[in-house]
Amino acid sequence: MEHPFEFPLELPAKGSRQRLAALHTQLRAAILDGRLKAGLRLPATRELALALKLSRNTVVAAYDLLLSEGYVVARRGAGNYVADLMERRARTHVAGTEEGGDRRLAPYWREARPPVPSPPPGAFAHDFRLGVPDTRQFPFEVWRRLSARALRDVSRLPSMSGQSRGRPILREAIAQHVSFARAVACDPDDVMVTSGAQQAFDLLARVLVTPGKTVVAMEDPGYTPLRAAFAAAGARLVPVAVDDEGIVVERIPVEARVIYVTPSHQFPLGMSMSPRRRAELLAFAAARRATVIEDDYDGEFRYGGRPLDALQTLDREGSVCYVGTFSKCLFPALRIGYLVAPPWLLPALAAAKELADWHCDVPAQDTLAAFIAEGHLARHVRRMRKIYAERREALLDALARHGLEAWPSDAGLHLSAKLPRKLRTDVLVEQAAARGVRIEGLDGYTFGRASANGLALGYGLIEAARMDEAVRHIARLLPR
């Protein structure tokens, strides 16, 4: 039969279990982007099944899914029609939605919006996205072997009750890893496993914040997702400026009871906190009984001399909670993070974790534990450190060649570049995207009086040989 649509439908081979999902996804996408207009009558299920060489049951199931989601409406005796999405949105917006959000929601969530999905891989010729490692270099074959072993062992595991802090074998592996790699003084009892660093921040916000009262001091510019977690918990957020030595301790308000810092590699500017500032911050926290959240998000990748001791290592008062993640050094989809907390904080965190999700993915935890214990993590980090160091040098050379200056940085997966004059970075970002270059403006990470006039450039996804070409596209957009 003649193809019923003016656009192609790409379906898996016969016998695949993904044919229904593929048909549903592509029809929905065609409705959303307007290729299937509102009011259009869809082909009869039998007709479409014959044209696409599918079973009629598959087409019926796809239509039923679209009906249940509101993308299609059925008219008795007349068939199925593409729904008017504008009308559908209007209907969902009517009841109980005054200006400022629906009153049934808690105040913070009335203005909440779902996150904008990231562009698919390959959408940009040059992708300077922050915090994304090069997964092409990851030893997935080793991971598959260890994962298969972990899955075989799952059937013999007892109940996971009481393991909200994480699998003992992984907590032991993490303790050894951070003791060796970052000189963090801890044992397995001090470690909690989380679903990425973001869950660690969410749990800390739950147990440390009294809504409307607790003052949280944050670096400005700083990490936006942590700011959102503490704002959602009802904290009073106070931006604190940073300079070449890190957070300016003398500007932290005396009433602050939580202080968030990225001392190893300030996010997003990149400098390390000086020893003097580290001592000042710990003294402030001890005197005020404040909790310091130390986010060491990509501390494994260091390119200068000997790394400075972590705040947690220097802490003698139980003031510091150290947060880390494996998403930056392994692969983002892993979603395993951890925190090293003082004894007074761990019971509350464990109780909050129990309420949130009981425990993290058990096979993934056991796989990661074996990956660390057998030395694969250390080998992978050593290998990637050389690759990223080469890309970092190429980026620094390209920035200098095209008249741009980088903020000093000895670690991590990104650099920040200063712009020669005050520009609207949102316009610059759009112009760069039109040239196939993905960049981010630093102004998206400020929330106080800080004025970070520059760009954040991740080098996890761009090879050294292509760095100059990528920076040249950016430089051409700047005023001479």
41 bridge partner residues: 81
pLDDT score at 95: 46
pLDDT score at 447: 85
The domain limits of the chain are 19-91, 126-136+379-475, 139-376
pLDDT score at 96: 45
Output the CA torsion 101→107→113→115 (10° steps).
-170
Using CA atoms, how far apart are residues 430 and 434, in angstroms rounded to an integer? 6
Using CA atoms, how far apart are residues 219 and 243, in angstroms rounded to an integer? 10
pLDDT score at 317: 95
Q: What is the largest CA-CA distance in the chain?
A: 80
Using CA atoms, how far apart are residues 445 and 454, in angstroms rounded to an integer? 11
User: Taking the model in full, what pTM does it have?
Assistant: 0.79
CATH assignment of 126-136+379-475, given 3.90.1150.10, 3.40.50.300, 3.40.980.10, 1.20.140.10? 3.90.1150.10
Using CA atoms, how far apart are residues 440 and 428, in angstroms rounded to an integer? 9
Left (φ > 0), alpha (ψ -120 to 50) or beta: where does 39 sit? Answer: left
Closest C-alpha to 456, from 198, 274, 221: 221
Using CA atoms, how far apart are residues 210 and 232, in angstroms rounded to an integer? 11
**Mean pLDDT split into 10-residue runs, the chain, 480 residues:** 77 83 91 89 91 89 89 88 73 53 85 75 87 94 96 79 89 94 91 96 98 96 95 96 95 98 95 96 97 94 83 95 95 94 96 93 96 96 96 97 93 93 83 91 83 90 96 90
Strand order in the sheet with 246-247: 191-194, 337-340, 320-325, 291-295, 256-261, 215-220, 236-243, 246-247
Task: Find out if CATH 2.40.10.10 is the number for domain 19-91.
Answer: no
Q: Provide the token pair at 184.
A: 């963090």
Give me the architecture of the 139-376 domain, per CATH.
Answer: 3-Layer(aba) Sandwich (3.40)
Counting beta carbons within 10 angstroms of the beta carbon of residue 144, is it exposed (0 to 12), middle (13 to 18) or buried (19 or more)? exposed
pLDDT score at 241: 94
Do the Cβ atoms of 382 and 388 come closer than 8 Å?
A: no
